[in-house]
């Protein structure tokens, strides 16, 4: 039986992964856990919702016991830009929170667990083109440091305790339902919001900045496919490289303008430029493609069409 706990339920990924899990496993079998934000009435009606803080182990323990949980998606995380403003918070949530959940997963013999890593695990000394699965991991953001430490912690719990923990290094994720909260790749979402609402956007990275990106539908499907893959197929217990497409901020702006001809984009780099410059431009995700058949579907045109259509509604 699947009784699933999802932390970070109201975040960018959680708010789209939960409906998919509820469709597959039944709405009462997926427990959404938020922290500080109140959910919408619609979300509240869509299935069980609880408030808890992953830094408080007893709050999470109570939910595991109350709902007899056997699967956990631990999505909570402080992203890169917010992390630079508050490194202690990033460490506390991203590492102490993760460790609480890993310990509870072992104690309650959780069958499967997912935790998100990121391209932020890489850094300026990593080969930034076609970045390999196994490579230098020397990130220069606290967010990246927590992702590398978290990956190693996950692998340790697999080796030491046999916990079936699976993870992906997500690229920047583009979606229209929920705004991302304080990341560096957020410009690739904000551009669509502003293009539709205001007809212009002031981008916080330079025109030539190129990062790996993915549409939310692909990201949700990748998560689903990884978690559904047979255990013996999973050869990576840190986190899989995962990719779809890469484009520069200028190419993105030009693409948006092909669908909204009056759209104007300016470029005013801020402190997030330095973070973007430390991350890969493209990712080699062949291990995910070999091990569990990963294939992306959305290219930039398809993303722009979907984003603009949905935001106009």
How far apart CA 110 and CA 102 sit, in angstroms, is 9
Minimum CB distance to ligand SER smaller for 28 or for 208:
208
How far apart CA 46 and CA 36 sit, in angstroms, is 19
Minimum CB distance to ligand SER smaller for 29 or for 209:
209
Q: Which of 97, 150, 183, 280 binds ligand SER (CB under 6 A)?
A: 183
> Does residue 215 carry a catalytic annotation?
no
| Structural contact between residues 139 and 278, judged by C-beta atoms closer than 8 angstroms | yes
Minimum CB distance to ligand SER smaller for 184 or for 210:
184
Minimum CB distance to ligand SER smaller for 4 or for 119:
119
For residue 208, the tally of other CB atoms under 10 A from its CB is 10
Report if residue 118 touches ligand SER, rule: CB under 6 A: yes
3-state class of 296 per DSSP?
coil
Compute φ and ψ for 265, nearest 5 degrees. Answer: -125, 135
Minimum distance from CB of 180 to ligand SER (Å)? Answer: 6
| Structural contact between residues 154 and 237, judged by C-beta atoms closer than 8 angstroms | yes
Residues 184-203 close enough to bind ligand SER by CB under 6 A: 184-185
Minimum distance from CB of 118 to ligand SER (Å)? Answer: 3
**In the structure encoding, which two tokens stand for residue 190, read together?**
């904000």
| Structural contact between residues 102 and 160, judged by C-beta atoms closer than 8 angstroms | no
Binding window for ligand SER (CB under 6 A); candidates: 3-11, 115-123, 247-255, 287-295: 115-123
Using CB under 6 A as the criterion, which residues of the chain lie in contact with ligand SER when the complex forms?
Answer: 79-80, 118-120, 143, 170, 172, 183-185
Which residues are catalytic, by number?
A: 143
């Amino acid at each position: 039986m699947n009784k699933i706990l999802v932390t970070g339920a109201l975040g960018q990924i959680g708010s789209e992964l939960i409906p998919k899990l509820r469709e597959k496993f039944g709405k009462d079998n997926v427990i959404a856990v938020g922290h500080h934000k109140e959910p919408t009435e619609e979300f509240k009606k869509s299935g069980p919702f609880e408030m808890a803080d992953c830094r408080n182990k007893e709050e999470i323990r109570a939910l595991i016991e109350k709902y007899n949980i056997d699967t956990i998606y631990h999505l909570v995380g402080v992203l890169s830009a917010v992390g630079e403003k508050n490194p202690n918070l990033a460490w506390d949530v991203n590492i102490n929170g993760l460790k609480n959940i890993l310990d509870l997963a072992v104690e309650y013999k959780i069958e499967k667990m997912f935790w998100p890593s990121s391209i932020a695990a890489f850094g300026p000394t990593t080969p930034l083109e076609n970045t390999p699965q196994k490579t230098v991991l020397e990130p220069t953001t606290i967010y990246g440091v927590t992702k590398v430490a978290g990956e190693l912690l996950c692998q340790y719990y697999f080796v030491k305790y046999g916990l079936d923990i699976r993870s992906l290094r997500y690229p920047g994720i583009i979606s229209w339902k929920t705004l991302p909260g304080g990341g560096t790749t957020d410009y690739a979402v904000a551009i669509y919001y502003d293009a539709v609402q205001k007809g212009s956007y002031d981008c916080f990275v330079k025109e030539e900045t190129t990062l790996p990106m993915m549409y939310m539908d692909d990201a949700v499907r990748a998560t689903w496919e990884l978690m559904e893959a047979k255990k013996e197929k999973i050869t990576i217990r840190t986190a899989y490289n995962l990719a779809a497409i890469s484009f520069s901020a200028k190419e993105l702006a030009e693409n948006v303008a092909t669908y909204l001809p009056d759209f104007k984009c300016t470029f005013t780099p801020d402190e997030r430029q330095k973070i973007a410059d430390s991350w890969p431009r493209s990712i080699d995700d062949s291990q995910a493609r070999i091990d569990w058949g990963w294939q992306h579907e959305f290219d930039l045109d398809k993303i722009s069409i979907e984003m603009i259509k949905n935001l106009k509604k």
